A and B are shown apart, each in its own frame.
Chain A
Amino acid sequence: MIASLPPGLILILGGLALVLVPARLRAAYMLALTFAGLAQIWILPAGAHGNVQLFGYTLTLIRVDKLSLAFGTIFHIAAAINVIYGWREKDTVQHVSALVYAGAGIAAVFVGDLVSLFVFWELTAIASVFLIWASRTERAFWSGMRYLVIQIGSGVILLAGVILHYRATGSIAFDKLGLVSLPTALIFVAFGIKCAFPLLHNWLQDAYPEATVFGTVVLSAFTTKLAVYALARGFPGTEILIWIGAIMTAFPVFFAVIENDLRRVLAYSLNNQLGFMVVGIGVGTPLALNGTVAHAFCHILYKSLLFMSMGAVLMRAGTVKASELGGLWKSMPWTAGFCIIGAASISAFPLFSGFVSKSLIMSATAENGYMWAWLVLLFASAGVLEHSGIKIPYFAFFAHDSGIRCKEAPANMLIAMGIAAAFCIGLGVYPKPLYDLLPYVAPYVPYTVSHVVTQLQLLVFAILAFALLVRHRIYPAEQRSTVLNTDWIYRRALPGLLAGMADVIRRLRFRALARAQVRLTRFIDTVYRHHGPQGVLARTWPVGSTVLWVAVLLCVTLLFYYFE
């Protein structure tokens, strides 16, 4: 019975049934759901099955191969860690939302056709927005609205692409599509929006930091990695992705330097990490695609670890603004330690998880001769170290002592962070289980002398640069500020433009109305002059003179008659 159930459905249905479970059993129940889901995907036999006939289409709800298994596995692990992190969260809405959202992401990874993909694509959007709204502030409400519009928009573009694709090819199968026609281009753009391509990215930095402590951790795992999966499935080897990805790795780096909200810094850094995965898809060789999958796997763990640590800081210290924090290691030593492990992993220090996954992408990019892209990735690696490796732990836990004294994060949060940190180190030290999970055959040895020394050089010299900048007080001080990004276009520029246009139209309308009124007044005056009480045509005539005129007219008529 369990084998015929589409993956993800356990979490979706189980999540919806959460309200029926007694409150004190809920956390354990949710954890059990994630384990059941994980067990299920590994029991399922490989291949496509679970076909459903609907309106004459064949929907494939279960397709198990190594690509979907890798993403399905990490999504379940992330969901389980999330449950532990949110163990004491009382807000049922957030738990239901998190489970349905994770379930939808998992289901989308296992479907074999584009129509089912669309359904779960939209479900991830709808389910997840409640995690943003759960902050219950006006900012979060509007941010969630923008998020929803963009995510649903991505789905609508996907649907348009799927319909056109079906008309052109007669197929709704979700296999390698390639960027070959208008329909596939639409599908590509839909994936690109969810993957936060440059200029389509800003929903991420806008919405994620507005979610709750628990919500941001959940959000960081699924949406964008689902898009990475979809690109890896549909567009491997599409060369333009190399350049899109390279730009994605590089530009958020600059914004992350000056951003004050540390959860927003992490959102920029998320964007930058997605860039590495996108480059891997663009290169498209087995090694590169393996790199993308491995990096997505490790990334979900260390990114959620970093978001968890900043969530704990937000919860205990009441803020994650770098300008307000500092010296928190005294109050939260465990959180600080876990944060540093996450920071070392994302910076790809040897013996940490980022090292064993990013290396695959770097090597594949270089081996295929993409020198400029490779240099950009190397540049971005220094950038990651700057904002995620140093800035996050340094300004939150060290730097100048802010004087904030608070309690250490609660035990359940520390356990969740501890598990993620154990994965970060475990996979970094012993990457074999991760490599065995990868979809393609491409043997790779991450730990060579050359590799370790060059990577250490890059990182330690960059740390030296940081130390120099701080020592000579060149490093820009953290300031309370808002950093403009592309969301400025639809939050300020477009509304401004529309308001301006409305103003012009209003003025034109007033002028036209005024002119019409003048004309109307003149017309009425004329009519009044002729027909008004004093008008010629409205004068009253005495009866006598009228009789005289009638007599004159009769005479004239008579004369005419007589002479004719």
Chain B
Amino acid sequence: MRENPEKPAWIERKSSIDLIYRGLWVACGALAFADFLYRKHGTFRFEEMPAFYGIFGFVCFLGIVLAGKYLRKIVGRKEDYYDR
């Protein structure tokens, strides 16, 4: 692909990254609001809670990444650990 050093590509511009970021907030808001517009047919009672899936996904994602940071301290080694 042709490159132009002066002008960064659309996806690299700060303005577009901000746009994507704000778009995500809007999308999440819309999806959470959508929960009020239809009848959810979940199996468990707690699924009926508005935005249950969204909050669950958000919390799990944060938990996984933060847990990974600590896990690295325990099981992370230098790259040549097994070659020495």
| A, B bound | yes
Taking Cβ atoms with an 8 Å cutoff, the residues of A that contact B are 139, 253-255, 257-258, 260, 329-331, 333, 366-367, 371, 374, 378-379, 381-383, 385-386, 398, 401, 448-450, 453-467, 469, 471, 474-476, 479-485, 491-492
User: 26 A–B contact pairs at CB < 8 A?
Assistant: A255-B71, A257-B64, A257-B65, A371-B44, A374-B43, A378-B53, A385-B57, A386-B65, A401-B12, A450-B38, A450-B41, A453-B31, A454-B52, A457-B28, A458-B53, A460-B24, A461-B31, A461-B61, A464-B25, A469-B65, A475-B65, A480-B79, A481-B76, A481-B79, A482-B81, A483-B75
B56 and A378 contact, CB distance less than 8 A: yes
Q: What are the nearest 6 A-B pairs in CB distance?
A: A257-B68, A461-B54, A458-B57, A457-B54, A465-B61, A382-B60
A481 and B72 contact, CB distance less than 8 A: yes
Q: Which B residues between 4 and 28 are near A, CB-CB below 8 angstroms?
A: 9, 11-12, 20-21, 24-25, 27-28
Closest to B43 in A: A366
Closest to A367 in B: B43
Closest to A333 in B: B1
Q: Which residues of B contact A383 (CB under 8 A)?
A: 60, 64
Q: Pick the contact of B24 from A139, A366, A401, A467 — CB < 8 Å?
A: A467
Taking Cβ atoms with an 8 Å cutoff, the residues of B that contact A are 1, 3, 9, 11-12, 20-21, 24-25, 27-28, 31-32, 34-35, 38-44, 47, 51-58, 60-62, 64-69, 71-72, 75-83
Q: With A385-B57, A453-B31, A458-B56 given, name 11 new contacts (CB 8 A).
A: A257-B64, A258-B68, A258-B69, A258-B71, A367-B43, A374-B43, A458-B57, A474-B65, A476-B65, A481-B72, A484-B77
Q: Pick the contact of B75 from A366, A458, A484 — CB < 8 Å?
A: A484
Q: Pick the contact of B1 from A330, A382, A449, A459 — CB < 8 Å?
A: A330
Within the complex, the shortest CB–CB distance from A402 to chain B, in Å, comes to 13
Q: Pick the contact of B40 from A450, A475, A481 — CB < 8 Å?
A: A450
Q: How far is the CA of A466 from the CA of B80 in the complex (A)?
A: 30
Within the complex, the shortest CB–CB distance from B17 to chain A, in Å, comes to 9
Q: Which residues of B contact A475 (CB under 8 A)?
A: 65
Within the complex, the shortest CB–CB distance from B7 to chain A, in Å, comes to 13
B31 and A460 contact, CB distance less than 8 A: yes
Knowing A453-B35, A464-B28, A469-B62 are in contact, say whether A476-B68 is a contact too (CB < 8 A). yes
Q: Pick the contact of B3 from A330, A371, A379, A449 — CB < 8 Å?
A: A330
Q: Which residues of A contact B39 (CB under 8 A)?
A: 450
Q: How far is the CA of A562 from the CA of B50 in the complex (A)?
A: 133
